[in-house]
């Protein structure tokens, strides 16, 4: 997979990006570099209807944090998830996805949100709390009751084939 | 001795069989142990059960029959003189022919099991030599004995027995406990290797053998043409699941590698079955009569056999899930349904000549999730153990019989050319096939298989009993070279199982193949795995790809919306899988706490790969899970180091670590001794004990976190708030120990003391190093710990029935969630609500801590007795200054020491403590008062001079500990091993 294929992929991605909103994205992109796809467009894709993380992904990868994605953001997203991306980068983005309140720590409320999304709010509050405590407990190395990026990375390093699953083939 | 006796029995049985050979259909021992005369059935002999003889149609009437009918049976007459002692009523009779069949079977099972025991006597031996090799050797010996005794081989691996009984047990076990996700993640690779690889092997081996025959390498006597060789190639080329399991279980390669080889061995069954049948039919009609259409029929047949087999399996999986949904009232037969349906899936597939292995595997994989959720915890355990037992014994019998079958002169039609060519070809083509396919696969795989993986995969292409059974099934009339093929197959099987099985472990070591990462799957991983799935699906969807994640997501939706609703109980399906996983992990934690003491043998041998055989493990859910389980003990080391927070790594951490290591072993042994004695006690005691341990654990945890916080505070005042909150919370649990304590004077001393004592056995050795390191901190800690203890105690008295709120601090601690589940593990009450478990905990707690309410005046007694009595007695009294300093010293020592060891240590600790309490409680409560009144003659050094202890005189302290308990006769007995 040489250079060639990467370019080709980028072209494909651009097509895809444009397909999402042909009326907004001009074909000749160079003249309008700051076009953004509003989150509503991405979030309303039928495939993503059930996905609990759609908003979060858009927010994390978009520069403005609102979920409105430029082409650069769009490409960034795929770079992070590509096979070539270093593990730390992946880990930091995964961490960001979990970090709902953007305070650089995964705290209990973040985890509760994650859990509720994963379980579609089927657990009771107590159950969620218990699981969250267990999670924090398992990974919290400095015992401050929340997970820092270091905690998170450490946990992921311990599970060798963990991040290896965190990429897609484009 | 035992073995000898068994052998004698065996020969006796064989001798008794001897007369039968004249009339095989009538007196055949049945169940596959029939004399080899009747072995060459051309069609799979479906009738396995002993043909019911008319005379014995109703076995229940043995007594009545024995009196009158016996002489009337003419067939019995050559059984020996026993029947002809004379007329009239005989008090004792020889009823061999009546019990013969089950008797022989039972004897064989016994031989197999005893053989297993014997192999595991020598640990060093079993690490080097795989069990399968030993079993084959044993089979050879037994076969030799029978041969010498009878001049004729009576036993052999009967294909029908193998395919209908032995193989299903193994495949059923493998399928049911197959790590589904791993399997489907690698499904592409597995299918490729299984289908393309097997076809490649079969054709290449067949054609090349034919070429060798044409070239004259293979002797003229081997009368075989192209079809025969292709047939032989087909049956010899399939990797055998039994052999792969037996060998790979002991090698512990990483999960991916294992699942690929093992999955291939399961799935290639369809290919083998079809090829075998197609060739057989070709051989029957003759090559010249084969039309082009037949080849296409063959391809169609492959599709039908494989897809049909899979579908049958899935249908049965759905039925099984559906049935278990309604077994709430009849829990006792739940396991039976599992066995029956899985077995029926196998038989049904066999009935329609579909791929039975595929059917069974998919039935197991498909049903596992729903069944496990539906049936009770006990049923789960039953299913697990029974499956493992059956599979293990079936495997043993298969290998023994392989050995025995080899000792049969009538079978050995040796041709060096054929044998060596076959060996070379299967090896070369296996390697070539693997390399070629991997090259293609790696273009599509996210995680490519590297060269080492390929070597192991090539080398792990073991042939086994399936090939042997298939070759025995050949019709000697049509396949002229059958005897040669049989002999060659035996050699190939022996070579692969014994030589490759023996060398694969060194090879894996030498190549440094990544081993299975032995660790518990944490709840974190569960969550992140799931979250990653969602994220990736989302990204794939955004990119407009319909990739793997997309389909998996679709499947999960389908499963959630329809299947789960149909197959799961209402109460269960409401819960998400994450919650399930969480509970499972908790249950396992709880079980491991108990089992830790329970099976010292297991834990002591954890690191020995030879113990990996299915039978020997308490917590095996499947092979890979087993590997993980296995790690919980072994990997402790790593975890310990891992868990030390970077900021807090002290120089002495490693020293602690080393010390801790040294201290482990005696303790563990001690515990197990204790537990073995203790286990037979009733359910209730066990429960009490467990709850007690839970309490201890949570107390330990809170203590630790408190300790920890303090260090933190000293370091950074920033985090003061959070840690304070936690500290406050964590004091509450501690009051569980001293909650009856209304005497404020005692409080500081006692709580400290108690803290110190938690680390009891480790402390002695730690004294020197840690104390010095921390000495400066002691003044700071003092004020903090006292208020903590003080504000714990006033609150204490009302706390006996913990409400939901008072549990909060518990939950803040590490050990807190487990109590609920550990209770559940015993009581099998699905814990749906927090409230529910609160109640159960509180009720149990009141059961578990009777000593405290019983003696409200002596709270310390219970606390002290729990902690081993004698020492507190000796050094508490100094009290005011020295006592408190020393206990601070102890505390300081204990904190940093215990903290890194979180998981394991505390379990061990409370295991011991919990045990100790139970054992000593009565003793101590009576014993304590004199101790407190009159301190033992040797007051321990640390009490009088902490500096001295800190100066590194652990020996003195230790000795004092050992000597102190002289008043208590029971103490030295129980504490002694720990201390020394």
What is the predicted pLDDT for the residue at B927? 41
> Would the CB atoms of A81 and B812 count as touching at under 8 Å?
no
What is the predicted pLDDT for the residue at A94? 79
Residue B967: enclosing H or E segment and its boundaries? none
Closest to B544 (Cβ–Cβ): which among A16, A122, A144?
A16
Q: Is the pLDDT of residue B339 over 60?
A: yes
Closest to B817 (Cβ–Cβ): which among A97, A124, A130?
A130
What is the predicted pLDDT for the residue at B38? 36
Strands (DSSP E) found in B320-386: none
Spatial contact of B359 and B319, defined as CB atoms under 8 Å apart: no
What is the predicted pLDDT for the residue at A72? 75
Q: What is the pLDDT of residues B661-677, one digit of tens each?
A: 433 333 333 333 333 33
> Would the CB atoms of B539 and A57 count as touching at under 8 Å?
yes
Q: Is the pLDDT of residue B585 over 70?
A: yes
Q: Count the residues in chain B.
A: 980
Q: What is the pLDDT of residues B731-748, one digit of tens each?
A: 444 434 434 444 443 334
Closest to B534 (Cβ–Cβ): which among A53, A126, A165?
A53
Q: Is the pLDDT of residue B344 over 90?
A: yes
Q: How confident is residue B146, by pLDDT bands cut at 50, 70 and 90?
A: confident
Q: How confident is residue B347, by pLDDT bands cut at 50, 70 and 90?
A: very high
CA neighbours within 13 Å on the CB side: how many for B312? 27
Closest to B645 (Cβ–Cβ): which among A122, A134, A142?
A142
What is the predicted pLDDT for the residue at B149? 84
Mean pLDDT throughout A127-136? Answer: 77
Mean pLDDT throughout A6-15? Answer: 60
CA B776 to CA B660: how far, in whole Å? 24
Mean pLDDT throughout B452-474? Answer: 87
| Residue in chain B nearest A119 by alpha carbon | B576
Q: Is the pLDDT of residue B387 over 80?
A: yes
> Would the CB atoms of A141 and B708 count as touching at under 8 Å?
no
Mean pLDDT throughout B685-692? Answer: 54
The number of C-beta contacts closer than 8 angstroms across A and B is 160
- List of chain B residues whose C-beta atoms are within 8 Å of the C-beta of residue A53: 531, 534-535, 538
What is the predicted pLDDT for the residue at B548? 67
Block residue for tokens 């407009």? B544
Q: What is the pTM (predicted TM-score) of this model?
A: 0.57
- List of chain B residues whose C-beta atoms are within 8 Å of the C-beta of residue A120: 576
> Would the CB atoms of A97 and B535 count as touching at under 8 Å?
yes
Is residue A147 classed as helix, strand or coil in its secondary structure? Answer: strand
* Average model confidence (pLDDT) across chain B: 63
B820 CB-near residues (< 8 Å, 6+ apart): A130, B586, B831, B837, B840, B841
Q: What is the pLDDT of residues B620-646, one digit of tens each?
A: 333 334 334 433 333 333 333 333 333
Min Cα distance B263 → chain A (Å) is 19
Q: Residue B641: count other Cβ atoms within 10 Å of its Cβ.
A: 13
Mean pLDDT throughout B912-935? Answer: 42
Q: What is the pLDDT of residues B64-120, one digit of tens each?
A: 334 333 343 344 344 444 445 556 777 888 888 888 888 988 988 898 888 888 888
Q: How confident is residue B28, by pLDDT bands cut at 50, 70 and 90?
A: very low
Pick the more confident residue, B21 or B442.
B442
Min Cα distance B590 → chain A (Å) is 14
Mean pLDDT throughout B377-395? Answer: 89
What is the predicted pLDDT for the residue at B96? 85
Min Cα distance A118 → chain B (Å) is 7
CA A152 to CA B522: how far, in whole Å? 13
Mean pLDDT throughout B257-276? Answer: 87
Q: Which residue pairs, CB below 8 angstroms and at least 24 apart, start in B440-443? A: B440/B192, B441/B188, B441/B189, B441/B192
Q: Write the CA distances from B749 to B492, B755, B770, integer angstroms.
A: 73, 10, 21
Range from B125-129, B592-596, B768-772, B909-913 carrying the lowest mean pLDDT: B768-772
CA A91 to CA A82: how far, in whole Å? 13
Pick the more confident residue, A161 or B206.
B206
Q: Is the pLDDT of residue A122 over 60?
A: yes
* Average model confidence (pLDDT) across chain A: 71
Q: Is the pLDDT of residue B441 over 80?
A: yes
B932 CB-near residues (< 8 Å, 6+ apart): B873, B876, B877
Mean pLDDT throughout A92-116? Answer: 80
What is the predicted pLDDT for the residue at B658? 40
Q: Is the pLDDT of residue B566 over 50?
A: yes
Spatial contact of B417 and B217, defined as CB atoms under 8 Å apart: yes
Q: What is the pLDDT of residues B495-526, one digit of tens each?
A: 888 888 888 888 888 887 776 655 555 666 66
- List of chain B residues whose C-beta atoms are within 8 Å of the C-beta of residue A158: 519, 642
What is the predicted pLDDT for the residue at A4? 33
Spatial contact of B104 and B28, defined as CB atoms under 8 Å apart: no
Among A158, A162, A163, A164, the strongest candidate for a mutation testing the B interface, having the largest count of B CBs within 10 A, is A158
- List of chain B residues whose C-beta atoms are within 8 Å of the C-beta of residue A133: 811-812, 816-817
| Residue in chain B nearest A95 by alpha carbon | B528
Mean pLDDT throughout B360-369? Answer: 90
Min Cα distance B553 → chain A (Å) is 9
Spatial contact of B199 and B421, defined as CB atoms under 8 Å apart: no
Block residue for tokens 């043995």? B62
Q: Residue B330: count other Cβ atoms within 10 Å of its Cβ.
A: 10
- List of chain A residues whose C-beta atoms are within 8 Å of the C-beta of residue B647: 142
What is the predicted pLDDT for the residue at B744? 40
What percent of chain A has pLDDT above 90? 0
Among A70, A80, A125, A126, the strongest candidate for a mutation testing the B interface, having the largest count of B CBs within 10 A, is A126
B397 CB-near residues (< 8 Å, 6+ apart): B108, B109, B112, B166
What is the predicted pLDDT for the residue at B363? 93
> Would the CB atoms of B549 and A168 count as touching at under 8 Å?
yes
Pick the more confident residue, B212 or B885.
B212
Closest to B834 (Cβ–Cβ): which among A119, A126, A159?
A126
Spatial contact of B929 and B869, defined as CB atoms under 8 Å apart: no
What is the predicted pLDDT for the residue at B311? 93
- List of chain A residues whose C-beta atoms are within 8 Å of the C-beta of residue B255: 161
Range from B293-307, B310-324, B774-788 carrying the lowest mean pLDDT: B774-788
Range from B228-242, B255-269, B336-350, B570-584 carrying the lowest mean pLDDT: B570-584
Min Cα distance A22 → chain B (Å) is 15
What is the predicted pLDDT for the residue at A27? 63
Min Cα distance A50 → chain B (Å) is 9
CA B253 to CA B517: how far, in whole Å? 9
Q: Is the pLDDT of residue B957 over 60?
A: no
Block residue for tokens 């009437």? B61
Tell me what ipTM this predicted complex has. Answer: 0.77
What is the predicted pLDDT for the residue at B959? 41
Comparing CA positions, the residue from B325, B330, B316, B319 lying closest to residue B362 is: B316
* Cα R_g (chain B), whole angstroms: 33
Structure tokens at B858: 């002596």
Q: Is the pLDDT of residue B894 over 60?
A: no
What is the predicted pLDDT for the residue at B670? 34
Residue B320: enclosing H or E segment and its boundaries? helix B292-324
Min Cα distance A93 → chain B (Å) is 11
> Would the CB atoms of B534 and A52 count as touching at under 8 Å?
yes
Q: Write the CA distances from B618 to B239, B602, B613, B681, B929, integer angstroms.
A: 29, 9, 11, 19, 43
Q: Is the pLDDT of residue B393 over 80?
A: yes
| Residue in chain B nearest A154 by alpha carbon | B642
What is the predicted pLDDT for the residue at B561? 76
Q: What is the pLDDT of residues B836-891, one digit of tens each?
A: 555 555 555 444 444 444 334 444 444 444 444 344 433 434 434 443 444 444 44
Q: How confident is residue B317, by pLDDT bands cut at 50, 70 and 90?
A: very high
What is the predicted pLDDT for the residue at A30? 63
Instruction: Return the HEC string of B757-826.
Output: HHCHHHHHHHHHHHHHHHHHHHHHHHHHHHHHHHHHHHHHHHHCCCCCHHHHHHHHCCCCHHHHHHHHHH
What is the predicted pLDDT for the residue at B573? 59
- Strongest mean pLDDT among A97-111, B344-358, B756-770, B951-965: B344-358
Pick the more confident residue, B36 or A68.
A68
- List of chain B residues whose C-beta atoms are within 8 Å of the C-beta of residue A144: 712, 719, 722
Mean pLDDT throughout B912-916? Answer: 43
CA B864 to CA B872: how far, in whole Å? 7
> Would the CB atoms of B534 and A94 count as touching at under 8 Å?
no
What is the predicted pLDDT for the residue at B849? 45
What is the predicted pLDDT for the residue at A108? 81
> Would the CB atoms of B537 and A159 count as touching at under 8 Å?
no
Min Cα distance B510 → chain A (Å) is 21
What is the predicted pLDDT for the residue at B692? 59
> Would the CB atoms of B523 and A138 count as touching at under 8 Å?
yes
- List of chain A residues whose C-beta atoms are within 8 Å of the C-beta of residue B644: 141
> Would the CB atoms of B817 and A134 count as touching at under 8 Å?
yes
Comparing CA positions, the residue from A121, A110, A118, A117 lying closest to residue A152 is: A110
- Strongest mean pLDDT among B41-55, B277-291, B378-392: B378-392
> Would the CB atoms of A141 and B547 count as touching at under 8 Å?
no
What is the predicted pLDDT for the residue at B362? 92
Task: Please give the DSSP secondary-structure letter assigned to residue B515.
Answer: B
Burial class from Cβ neighbours inside 10 Å (0-12, 13-18, 19+) for residue B148 reads: exposed
CA B792 to CA A146: how far, in whole Å? 26
Burial class from Cβ neighbours inside 10 Å (0-12, 13-18, 19+) for residue A166 reads: buried
> Would the CB atoms of A53 and B538 count as touching at under 8 Å?
yes
Q: Is the pLDDT of residue B236 over 80?
A: yes
- List of chain A residues whose C-beta atoms are within 8 Å of the C-beta of residue B585: 134
- Strongest mean pLDDT among B50-64, B392-406, B848-862: B392-406
What is the predicted pLDDT for the residue at B78? 42
Comparing CA positions, the residue from B78, B34, B26, B77 lying closest to residue B53 is: B26
What is the predicted pLDDT for the residue at A130? 78
Spatial contact of B894 and B909, defined as CB atoms under 8 Å apart: no
């Amino acid at each position: 997979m040489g250079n060639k294929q990467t370019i080709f992929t980028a072209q494909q991605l651009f097509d895809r990006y444009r397909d999402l909103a042909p009326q907004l994205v001009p074909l000749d992109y160079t003249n309008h570099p700051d076009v953004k796809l509003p989150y509503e467009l991405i979030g309303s894709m039928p495939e993503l209807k059930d996905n609990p993380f759609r908003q979060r992904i858009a927010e994390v990868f978009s520069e403005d944090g609102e979920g409105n994605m430029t082409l650069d953001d769009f490409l960034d997203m795929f770079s992070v998830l590509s096979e070539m991306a270093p593990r730390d980068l992946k880990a930091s983005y995964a961490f960001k996805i979990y970090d709902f309140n953007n305070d650089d720590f995964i705290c209990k409320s973040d985890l509760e949100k994650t859990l509720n999304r994963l379980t579609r709010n089927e657990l009771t509050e107590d159950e969620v709390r218990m699981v969250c405590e267990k999670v924090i407990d398992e990974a919290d190395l400095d015992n401050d009751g929340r997970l820092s990026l270091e905690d998170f990375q450490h946990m992921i390093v311990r599970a060798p084939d963990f991040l290896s699953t965190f990429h897609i083939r484009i | 001795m035992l073995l000898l006796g068994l052998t004698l029995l065996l020969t006796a049985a064989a001798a008794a069989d001897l007369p039968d050979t004249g009339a095989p259909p009538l007196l055949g021992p049945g169940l596959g142990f029939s004399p080899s005369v009747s072995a060459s059935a051309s069609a799979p002999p479906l009738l396995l059960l002993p043909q019911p003889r008319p005379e014995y149609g109703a076995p229940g009437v043995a007594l009545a029959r024995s009196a009158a009918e016996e002489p009337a049976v003419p067939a019995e007459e050559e059984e020996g003189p026993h029947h002809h002692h004379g007329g009239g009523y005989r008090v004792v009779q020889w009823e061999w022919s009546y019990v013969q069949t089950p008797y022989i079977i039972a004897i064989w099972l016994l031989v197999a099991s005893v053989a297993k025991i014997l192999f595991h006597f020598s640990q060093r031996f079993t690490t080097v030599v795989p069990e399968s090799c030993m079993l084959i050797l044993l089979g050879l010996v037994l076969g030799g004995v029978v041969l010498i005794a009878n001049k004729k081989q009576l036993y052999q691996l009967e294909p029908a027995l193998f395919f209908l009984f032995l193989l299903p047990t193994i495949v059923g076990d493998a399928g049911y406990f197959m790590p589904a996700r791993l399997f489907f993640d690698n499904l592409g690779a597995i299918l490729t290797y299984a289908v393309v690889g097997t076809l490649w092997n079969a054709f290449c081996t067949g054609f090349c053998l034919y070429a060798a025959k044409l070239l004259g390498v293979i002797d003229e006597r081997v009368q075989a043409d192209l079809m025969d060789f292709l047939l032989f190639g087909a049956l010899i080329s399939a990797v055998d699941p039994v052999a792969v399991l037996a060998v790979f279980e002991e090698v512990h390669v990483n999960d991916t590698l294992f699942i690929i080889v093992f999955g291939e061995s399961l799935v290639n069954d369809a290919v083998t079955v079809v090829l075998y049948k197609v060739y057989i039919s070709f051989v029957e009609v003759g090559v010249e009569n084969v039309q082009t259409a037949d080849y296409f029929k063959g391809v169609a047949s492959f599709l039908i056999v494989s897809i049909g087999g899979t579908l049958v399996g899935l249908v049965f999986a759905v039925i099984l899930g559906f049935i278990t949904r309604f077994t709430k009232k009849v829990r006792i037969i739940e396991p039976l349904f599992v066995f029956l349906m899985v077995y029926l899936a196998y038989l049904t597939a066999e009935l329609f000549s579909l791929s039975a292995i595929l059917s069974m595997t998919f039935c197991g994989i498909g049903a596992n999730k729903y069944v496990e959720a539906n049936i009770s915890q006990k049923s789960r355990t039953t299913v697990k153990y029974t499956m493992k037992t059956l599979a293990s014994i079936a495997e043993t019998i298969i290998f023994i019989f392989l050995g025995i079958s080899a000792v049969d002169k009538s079978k050995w039609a040796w041709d060096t050319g054929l044998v060596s060519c076959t060996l070379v070809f299967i090896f070369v083509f296996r390697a070539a096939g693997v390399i070629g396919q991997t090259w293609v696969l790696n273009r599509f795989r996210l995680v490519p298989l590297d060269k080492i993986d390929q070597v192991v995969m090539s080398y792990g292409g073991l042939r086994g009993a399936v090939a042997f059974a298939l070759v025995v099934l050949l019709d000697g009339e049509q396949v002229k070279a059958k005897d040669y093929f049989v002999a060659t197959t035996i050699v190939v099987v022996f070579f692969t199982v014994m030589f490759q099985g023996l060398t694969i472990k060194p090879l894996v070591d030498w190549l440094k193949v990544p081993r299975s990462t032995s660790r518990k799957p944490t709840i974190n991983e569960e969550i992140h795995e799931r979250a990653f799935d969602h994220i990736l699906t989302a990204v794939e969807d955004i990119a407009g790809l319909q990739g793997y994640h997309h389909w998996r997501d679709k499947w999960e939706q389908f499963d959630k919306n329809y299947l789960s609703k149909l197959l799961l109980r209402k109460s269960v399906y409401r819960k998400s899988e994450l919650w399930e996983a969480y509970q499972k992990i908790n249950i396992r934690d709880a079980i491991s706490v108990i089992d830790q003491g329970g099976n010292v043998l297991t834990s002591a041998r954890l690191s020995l790969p030879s113990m990996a055989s299915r039978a020997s493990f308490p917590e095996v859910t499947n092979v890979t899970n087993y590997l993980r389980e296995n790690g919980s003990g072994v990997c402790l080391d790593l975890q310990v180091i891992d868990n030390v927070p970077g900021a807090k790594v002290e120089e002495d951490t490693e020293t602690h670590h080393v010390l801790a290591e040294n201290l482990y072993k005696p303790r563990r042994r001690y515990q197990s001794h204790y537990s073995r004695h203790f286990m037979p006690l009733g359910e209730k005691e066990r429960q009490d004990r467990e709850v007690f341990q839970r309490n201890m654990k949570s107390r330990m945890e809170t203590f630790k976190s408190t300790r920890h916080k303090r260090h933190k505070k000293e370091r950074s005042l920033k985090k003061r708030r959070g840690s304070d909150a936690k500290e406050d919370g964590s004091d509450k649990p501690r009051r569980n120990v001293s909650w009856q304590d209304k005497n404020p004077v005692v409080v500081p001393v006692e709580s400290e003391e108690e803290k110190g004592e938690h680390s009891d056995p480790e402390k002695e050795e730690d004294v020197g190093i840690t104390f010095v390191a921390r000495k400066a901190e002691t003044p700071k800690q003092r004020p903090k710990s006292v208020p903590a203890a003080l504000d714990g105690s006033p609150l204490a008295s009302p706390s006996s029935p913990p409400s939901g709120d008072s549990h909060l601090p518990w939950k803040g601690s590490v050990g807190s969630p487990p109590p609920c589940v550990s209770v559940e593990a015993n009581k099998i009450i699905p814990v749906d609500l927090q409230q529910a478990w609160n109640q159960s905990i509180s009720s149990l707690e009141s059961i578990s801590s009777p000593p405290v309410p019983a003696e409200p005046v002596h709270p310390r007694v219970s606390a002290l007795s729990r902690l081993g009595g004698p020492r507190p007695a000796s050094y508490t009294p100094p009290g005011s200054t020295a006592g408190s300093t020393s206990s601070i010293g102890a505390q300081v020592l204990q904190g940093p020491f215990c903290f890194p060891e979180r998981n394991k240590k505390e379990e061990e600790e409370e295991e011991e403590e919990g045990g100790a309490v139970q054992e000593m409680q009565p003793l101590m409560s009576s014993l304590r008062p004199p101790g407190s009144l009159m301190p033992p003659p040797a007051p321990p050094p640390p009490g009088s001079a902490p500096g001295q202890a800190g100066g590194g005189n652990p020996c003195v302290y230790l000795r004092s500990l050992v000597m102190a308990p002289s008043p208590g006769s029971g103490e030295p007995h129980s504490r002694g091993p720990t201390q020394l």
